[in-house]
């Protein structure tokens, strides 16, 4: 067995309703993905069909500004 354990949520987060925790996790993931998008190389951006300007614009959006089909 490993000495590593799964991180436990902070006690305050446990008090949030399950749906709120899921929404928070989605928004944090979206923010992380947008940060990573900013650092993609040109050939990777071409692979996903984005220009550098589009990637920069997307990476500037706030986490709560999710696509309408997520809501």
Secondary structure of 42-69 in HEC code, one letter for each residue: HHHHHHHCCCHHHHHHHHCCCCCCCCHH
pTM, two decimal places: 0.65
**10 vs 27, more confident:** 27
Q: 5 in a domain, yes or no?
A: no
Domain count, the chain: 1
Task: Provide the residue range defining the domain that includes 49.
Answer: 27-61
Q: Contact at 8 Å (CB) between 34 and 58? A: yes
Can you tell me the mean pLDDT for 23-30?
89
Q: 70 in a domain, yes or no?
A: no
Per-residue model confidence (pLDDT) at position 50: 94
Q: 45 in a domain, yes or no?
A: yes
Residue with tokens 């696509």: 67
Q: 10 in a domain, yes or no?
A: no
Q: 55 in a domain, yes or no?
A: yes
Q: 35 in a domain, yes or no?
A: yes
Residue pLDDT, tens place only, 32-49: 999 999 999 999 999 999
């Amino acid at each position: 067995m490993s000495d590593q354990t799964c991180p436990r949520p902070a006690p305050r987060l446990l008090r949030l309703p399950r749906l709120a925790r899921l929404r928070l996790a989605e928004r944090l993931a979206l923010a992380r993905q947008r940060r990573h998008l900013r650092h993609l190389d040109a050939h990777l951006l071409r692979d996903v069909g984005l220009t550098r300007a589009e990637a920069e614009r997307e990476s500037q959006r706030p986490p709560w500004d999710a696509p309408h089909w997520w809501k």
